[in-house]
Structure 1
């Protein structure tokens, strides 16, 4: 659905993007991560046809970005979205529906889908930031787009609204919509995307599933041991490298040493009430990969 090859964007002596390759298949959810100024917004603007590449190419559904077909199949939700405060939610979505050549009668269903059914007749000037973000999501859903480009889409949403938002994305992906999403909320995208691409200083420094990025980062696992009452000294004796944190003993181990640690745990299982192996979070992986790239 989206194919990016050797994409480069230069501004005078500054290179905003440097030979970036990225492809997204129908139904695939890809998170685009990177520090401020890494090139995420530049890449998205070129996907939308708002900027012209200095080198390389982009196709959306096999067509050039900004072409009629590419525009028809693409939806965009910016981070900071603005609507006319005097319009109601219904009037604003009807306005967008007319732009897209769709029946205005679809407005109420779209607003209900994003949780604004009861607020459809209220003026947008009375909406909270999260509600305005939902209006933006409603306009992005017009016409069941084949590609969605989302820039910090959960900004301003409360936890319940964020969960509902990702449920919507899951439904869209299940019906074949390709999704490219940038976000700083790493704990969210960690479990709700199929692939993660990381940009650093205009270059793509990682691209893969969370498990493959964990392997590439080669970060240790965290092992948490919870002794039974009165057994802490025995567990310490078996794991002298551990440190006590609250009622648990904590240590780290390399992925390759996991089976060896598990064997040691089995040997003292009668002294433990529980244990956990905690993999590095996406935050940890992102920091490690970014530092390595730098």
Structure 2
């Protein structure tokens, strides 16, 4: 049994070459136990390859990988792998099996208790389709069934590659609710997604991959501050107060300023946020509403990917 002193995932100098292509190129990374960790990057950045390396499905050209303290290429990894769940980007299932038969099949392969299959189908909203053949499942239903198989055996580490593909808004909401519960229970989750808005408020930290390398690492807020992206500010005020607001804010370093009949839209450097709010508060009559929006994860991504 691996010591709990170890991080959930530890990668050092991990490299994977496919001929002349460096799919993963010298990645150093640690993911803490119980962390919800995001991997983002363009198509071909190395995300899926990195996950397959961590699962032991691919052998690295160089470097070391440890999961729960156990080397992926070591003898003890077989036991660790039973506590790993994986939902690949493209779910492939046996069309002639029913939903419950599919889960029981994977449970047997994984050495998990088949008694947990029916509750898992209910957990992902497929209890009414348990006995239907998978060939009759929609893309979203297949995705939910794939998620259920990833949860077999109560995994300590869960890898999710584009997990919300094909899910409708309700299923997506339920999926993220399940992830929140798993994190509370101490499960380590590594998730990739091109839908950055889904990750923005949910991940503890994330890594941006480009050309097989980690280009940036940290919490969303830390990356926002690192990039020094401006805040979006919207003020709404009575038309009579607008001239006074213009005078009060004239010396502040606002950008893309657009004065309207009833207020202002502008970009505000982070360091000027509190002076801006103080200047607004000093205006007689004040304002009716102030909205200060942080840069989105998408804003951060495009800035980092330049």
TM-score strictly above 0.5: yes
Q: Could you say which residue in structure 2 is the equivalent of 1:3?
A: 10
- Distance (whole Å) between structure 2 residues aligned to residue 105 and residue 55 of structure 1: 41
Q: Could you say which residue in structure 2 is the equivalent of 1:261?
A: 276
Quick check: 1:182 aligned with 2:189?
no
Q: Could you say which residue in structure 2 is the equivalent of 1:60?
A: 67
- Distance (whole Å) between structure 1 residues aligned to residue 60 and residue 115 of structure 2: 39
**Residues 259 and 121 of structure 1: is their aligned pair in 2 closer, same or farther, counting only changes over 3 Å?**
same
Map residues 1-294 of structure 1 onto 2, 5 A cutoff. Answer: 1-65=8-72, 67-228=77-238, 230-239=240-249, 242-244=257-259, 248-268=263-283, 270-291=285-306
Conserved in 2, the CA contact under 8 Å of 1:34 and 1:40? Answer: yes
- Distance (whole Å) between structure 1 residues aligned to residue 45 and residue 111 of structure 2: 36
Q: Output one character per residue of 1:28-78: Cα deviation in whole Å (capped at 9) or x when no partner.
A: 010000111111111011001111111111011122326312321211101
Equivalent position SS for 1:199? strand
Equivalent position SS for 2:288? strand
TM-score (norm 1): 0.93
Q: Output one character per residue of 1:102-155: Cα deviation in whole Å (capped at 9) or x when no partner.
A: 332322111001111111111211111111111001101101001111100011
- How many angstroms does 1:169 deviate by? 1.0
| Runs of 4+ residues deviating >6 angstroms | none
Equivalent position SS for 2:58? coil
TM-score (norm 2): 0.90
- Distance (whole Å) between structure 1 residues aligned to residue 240 and residue 169 of structure 2: 40
- How many angstroms does 1:236 deviate by? 4.1
The gaps in structure 1 that reach 5 residues or longer are none
CA RMSD of aligned residues (A): 1.8
